[in-house]
Chains A and B, each alone.
Chain A
Amino acid sequence: MRELVVDTYRYRQLIWALTLKELKVRYKRSVLGFLWALLNPALMMVVLTLVFSTIMKFPIPHYSIFLLSVLLPWTFFSQSVSYAVDSIVGNGELIKKVAVPKLVFPVAALSSNIVNLLLSMIPLAILVPLMGHPFYKTWLYLPVPMAALIIFTAGITFFFAAANVYYRDVAHIVQVVLSAWFYFTPIIYALDFIPSHYRWLFKLNPMIYVINGFRLAVYYGLLPKWPSIAASFACAFTTLLIGFSVFRKFQDDFVFYV
């Protein structure tokens, strides 16, 4: 774990350069370029808002905000994992030729998505007053669930990035797992909708503790209770510990398999 912190700090300039490279390559050859990082979530929000306020009416007021408050963090999670799973294999040619700490690649994939997550909060902040939803002071609390989410995501990405080096199926399996995970997480619905005798099953999903804080702060204007915050960080750090340990154990052998 110390190695992760020390190396991330030591190679921060390299990580940042790789992050910019990823963002640049992602938006290359598009007229609007980097603006897409803002436009993408904004347009998605427009679509969702139109659909849920006119066509499908849910008994939840301001459903689009209810949804987006956790959909944006979820999108960050799923995109980070999808990008990072290929981060070692995709940089294989480089790894074979230059002695470079392997962790910079998943970390850079993650940090380019952090940039996207932060940018996507801007259209949400605009949408909230537009919808007539109160803009709560609890927005200020968002860095806390964001930290937990990023730590949790880092753990998952380290694990899958390493696993994908050995079995390329992992990249495909991850996509299936992500879409199943999406429906098992209270994103388009609330945990209250689940019959109470099944609820314990959903509570095994670490993701709910991690993203819970987002919905409470943005939609309800509430702060999570201490046990819930503790649970989110416990899940996040446990995941990171496992994911990074696996990554670290195998990182010296990546070069032979990429």
Chain B
Amino acid sequence: MSDQKLLRNPVAVKLENVTQRFRVIHERPDTLRELFSNFFRHEVSYHNFDAVKDVSLEVTEGQMLGLMGRNGSGKSTLLKIIAGVYKPTAGRVQVEGTLAPLIELGAGFHSELTGRENILLNGLLMGYSKEEMEEREQRIIDFAEIGDFIDTPVKQYSSGMHTRLAFSVATEVDPKILIIDEILAVGDAGFQQKSFARIQDFRQAGKTIIFVSHSMPLVTQYCDRGILLERGSIVADGDPTEVAEMYKNLLSPAIAAVH
């Protein structure tokens, strides 16, 4: 089934030999004084660090891809490259269709503005028009279960309300590609169920989902493809259960060390 899908469907996200290099400057001079003093002491030292190394990847439309890997393996960097936050040092990135990055929920929220104003601002930041957002406003408010608080400044929201609203905005805008970075542990059990139901709807609607999680049951249950990242490279790509197994093996020395 999933093989057929691969053949039939067009590519939603395509990465070709993508490398993201960070220059890690040891005590980067933040002020001119530091720059001058370092310059005279010839101490502007740095090393290069490839957070993502020569990664090529094709995600077809309608696929739900689970991205696994240890902390610092390059998952978030890869997501930010796909989301267009980082322009990679080398390689090509191609994304077909609108994309909703749920990298950090509510990143575009401004605490002094009300929920309603933030819905608009967040939508505009994701590239939607004012009209599109106004049309969806009520649905967003309903799904987030914010109620009367919608006209209260966001700084008075509980953290649960904050994430619920952000999740609601990001998913109600009807993107073609959804990027989810470890955010499904939001809200209470009821809202979690609702968010999963919504993600299922997305899948059924044939949307592309890229999903990062440390929870292997979630990945094996929902995804139809798994990818394991290690030190910025893809080390496994295929059936999510097998990849999750590899991930477990990768972690086991670390776990064994703890015990």
Contacts and interface: CB of A to CB of B under 8 A. Distances in A.
A96 B32 CA distance: 24
B103 interface: yes
A93 B107 contact: yes
Nearest to A14: B124
Interface in B47-88: 83-87
Contact of A255 (B35, B86, B107, B129): B86
B5 interface: no
Give the 7 A-B CB pairs with smallest separation, nearest first. Answer: A99-B84, A97-B107, A14-B124, A252-B87, A169-B32, A13-B130, A97-B104
A199 B202 CA distance: 70
Interface residues of B, number: 28
Contacts of B107: 93-94, 97-98
Contact of B110 (A13, A25, A256): A25
B86 A98 contact: no
Contact of B113 (A11, A24, A98): A24
Nearest to A15: B124
A97 B112 contact: no
B165 interface: no
20 contacts: A13-B129, A17-B121, A17-B124, A21-B112, A21-B117, A21-B121, A25-B112, A94-B108, A95-B85, A97-B85, A97-B103, A97-B107, A98-B83, A98-B107, A167-B30, A167-B31, A169-B31, A252-B87, A256-B22, A256-B23
Interface of A: 11, 13-14, 17-18, 21, 24-25, 28, 93-100, 167-169, 252, 255-256
B112 A99 contact: no
Interface string B116-144: 01001100111001100000000000000
Contact of B85 (A99, A167, A168, A169): A99
B115 interface: no
B22 A14 contact: no
B226 interface: no
B101 interface: yes
Given A21-B110, A256-B22, A94 B129 contact: no
A28 B112 contact: yes
A35 to B, nearest CB: 18
A3 B110 CA distance: 28
A93 B85 CA distance: 11
Given A14-B124, A167-B32, A169-B31, A98 B101 contact: yes
A3 to B, nearest CB: 15
Given A17-B120, A100-B125, A255 B85 contact: yes
Nearest to B82: A99
B179 to A, nearest CB: 11
B30 A168 contact: yes
Contacts of A93: 107
A181 to B, nearest CB: 20
A134 to B, nearest CB: 44
Given A13-B129, A25-B112, A167-B32, A96 B121 contact: no
A151 B258 CA distance: 62
B108 A98 contact: yes
Interface in B207-247: none
Contacts of A256: 22-23
Given A97-B104, A169-B32, A14 B112 contact: no
Given A167-B32, A168-B31, A169-B31, A14 B125 contact: yes
Interface string B90-113: 000000000001011001101011
